[in-house]
Structure 1
Amino acid sequence: MIRRTILSAFTGLLLAGTAAFGSAHAQQPIRIVVPFSPGGGTDQYVRLLASELTKRGSLVIVENKPGASGIVAADYVARSRPDGLTVLMSSLSTLTSNTVLYDKLPYDPAKDFAHVTQIAYQPAIIVGRMDLPYTNIKEMVAYAKANPGKINRGSPGAAILTNLAPMSFEKMAGIGTTHIPFPGDSPGIQALLGKQIDVHGTSITGPLPHIRAGKLRVLGVMDNRRLPQVPEAPTFKEQGFDIEAPLWYALSVPAATPKDAITRLNASVNKLVTDPEFIARARAIGMEPRGGSPKEITRFIRTEHERWAPLLQSLNLVKEAQ
């Protein structure tokens, strides 16, 4: 009887300890690692996403690790413990562009990550100062041809689509600008406001307050339709240049992360991005929420790689990125 009582007590303690460990683990925050500086458009959206997920019962925080076109953040997550608690805000740059722009990466985009879901997309745009001698892309092209080397163009990084798409456009239009990369969108916008650069490749989220304040203007939208936030800004297609460049954002985790952890996070995010109130708040900062299954985002990333990698190789950007 005594032996049975001791065994029961021991079993109870073991179960209690296991439950306590599970509870403690469940209370640990999920960290979404953003490869850009705080304050940029993507950072704003991810913070909105994290805040709303936290309100719905999943403790989520944002950690910024800018640098080297997303390599710092991607490598950090790739090497993190695969427990579903460390998540990369991934994009074209971390999963495709860097494989072309760098001779050697500390992580393998194809092998080191499992993908959870897409979270949003938005078209690339080019914004400029209000004191420039051109007010749209068509006028900028004419100015660039008449004044070679006079336009300084910023971007959030060499491997970011908001640099690659403008470079592709410049090749198409037969012009050139002096590219000045920044460690994220916010520093580039501040440089634009400070007249250190003339134009900046970006998305609508970061510069929107400055556009509404009359300090910046959108020269062109790389989409097949105008943006609802700035309906007066023409698309590139309207100005005679056939180019579209949607930026997309996803969540990725270390490759060995258990499927159940991926499934839980996927379900939480997909429930949120279909909520009408959340969609309205996201659109207010220029984002279009979008979810999907792990298989769908994995397939989409593969398609994007096949689309952009050959173009990146043709632009011969390796020396710039190093």
Structure 2
Amino acid sequence: MFPIHDDTPRTNGRPYVNYGLIAINIIIFIYEAIITSYFSNIGNLFSNYGAVPNLILSGQNLVSLFSSMFMHGSIAHLLGNMFFLYVFGDNLEDRFGHYKYLMLYLLWGIIASFAHSIYAISTGSGDVPAIGASGAISGVLGAYLIFFPHAKIHTIIFAFFITTVRIPALAYIPFWFIMQLIFALIGQSGGVAYLAHIGGFLAGVGTAYFWKFFSHIFNGPSVVNSKIDKMSQYQPLKNDLPDTDVSPEIIIGNGFMDIIIQARGIHMDANIQTEFDNSTNILSVQISEFNKTYSIPIPNINNSVLKISSVSVLNGVIKIRLEYEQ
């Protein structure tokens, strides 16, 4: 199963850091190919800049903790990692912000290297350098699972035929993690640092949980109302219709609020009528295609006057943006 894209919309512009990380990995790979005559003499380069477990745990050549996560041993190694980073990384940058995302990405890569180093020394392979971005990207997967469990991952399936399916992140990512555990337990290495994947993934999960419950300490409260202050930035809201088959969620930003509705099967040109009542803070969403009207309670942000600025549909997701003056 190979992911090609997800259906989680971004709300804070382009993921420049994620694009930059992909570009740096590609540039360094090209540089590797040039200085090693197309990988004919790669050993010294990996030994100098790869993460050698014996050296790492003895406090030597610690710069390799950073350099190793931007190096790859083959075009397949590079492309596989970059596709995963492209699919899952942009939404985390959207959530954390550019600077914090970069710092966390590097942190996850470092934790992954330490996890692999401990395991490698215990198995007698402490002198073999480890390279690749997969440890840091495993952290991306872990955090993505916590923040966007209901996102749909468009995935290519290779079997007796080739097809694409939409798999919930809550199924796709745990399956991926279980496979890493199985391969690690049975000792199926093949040059893959599975403990780096496991360590990075758990670091990403832990970071995301910490962020969800304590982000208000770093960012300050989004609104004045004490009940709303306790909301995470991406919290499910209950709908007042008992037969609803959508799950509204809310993202509060600077001067805007995005209402995200997962609506399976809806077409991009669907007729959607919206109305917001500032006196009751109720957003009414009428979807003719479903023959339903939804009433969604909206948080009161500093008694601001909200107005609907845009409505869009993409890949089964309805995004309604409300704007307000700060």
The reply to whether TM is greater than 0.5 is no
Q: TM-score, normalised by structure 2?
A: 0.24
> Which has the higher relative contact order, 1 or 2, with Cα contacts under 8 A spaced 6 or more apart?
1
What TM-score do you get using the length of structure 1 for normalisation? 0.25
